[in-house]
Amino acid sequence: MNKTSVLVVDDSAFMRKLIAGFLNESGTCYAAGTARNGEDALEKVKALNPDVVTLDIEMPGMDGLQTLKRIMEGTPKPVIMFSGMTQRGADLTIQSLQMGAVDFIPKPSGAISLDLHKVRDDLIRKVEMAGRLKMETITVGGRDRPYNEKKTSRLNSSRKVICIGTSTGGPRALQQVLPKLPADLNAPVFVVQHMPEGFTASLAARLDTLSHLTVKEAEDGELVKKATAYIAPGGTHMKVEESKSGLVIRLSRESLNTAHRPSVDVLFESLSLIKNVHKIAVIMTGMGSDGSEGLKKLKKSGSLHAISESEKTSVVFGMPKMAVETNAVDAVEHLEDIADAILKSVQS
């Protein structure tokens, strides 16, 4: 088996040594080289031609975002960002994912994390995944200018809902779907994006500036409004329930025996219990099978139109592939066509 070669970019010599050590001990990947700053990274990407680049977001001089932009413009590679857990770190992380980075690793305790071993397994898993990606699926797309006008959202009374599940590559995919939906969308949108706690608020804020819809991080107990997209908070399950006043969001941090929190299955299963509502379910890029079991339950509940992202445009064709294999999917669409497919189902 060929090992995945990695260029490790970090301004801290300690962090470079630690990350390279984790890679070299893995048996599946190795550090082909290290770089101390952005300029050094650009030279070594060309010289070493690594399969994957790990890139620190906050560096002096040419920072991680500038370096990422230059890599994607010059010699595109799958890039995994190392991010701080601060608000600034979260904001920069979301920008990097929408600029073409395939994933990120939060540093547990800041720029020099002595406890980086806590994310060692996550790092190895993501590097292995990144090494298998097709670069043509890792593109920067979607609107990058803000919409300033939004219509006032009203309580949802349309009896139609849209639910979206995604993981690796999801922030970029969401940036190509949500901004294409109109301000008078006659349905709410519920989104589960696999992401740790502390990052989904930045994701929602970024998507809100780019969209006609109101996009927000979901809150426990809030009544659902149409033309609003609700992002499940990182580390928290999101369910939707029927109440006398309309649909209401319920958040929970219980494990529920799921591999992910938030879980697409948990969202879909909660919606399957709501009667007399037409559901449009979308599964986009991501590893694993989250969403497939929930999709089957939605199908049994009736009045479902299910859409899966195509293999051609998926950064990782895991979740969409497993969704198709349930035989509950009605249409397979390229990423750029998913918003139109959603609108057709809402309007039908």
Residues that are catalytic: 167, 194, 290
Neighbours of 111 (CB within 10 A): 18
Task: List, as one string, the DSSP characters of 73-124.
Answer: HHS---EEEEE-SSHHHHHHHHHHHHTT--EEEE-TTSSS-TTGGGGHHHHH
Instruction: Measure the CA–CA gap between 49 and 328, rounded to whole angstroms.
Output: 41
Does residue 278 sit in helix, strand or coil?
strand
**Pick from 227, 224, 239, 245: nearest CA to 184:** 227
**Pick from 130, 132, 200: nearest CA to 166:** 200
Does residue 262 sit in helix, strand or coil?
coil
Instruction: Measure the CA–CA gap between 40 and 178, rounded to whole angstroms.
Output: 37
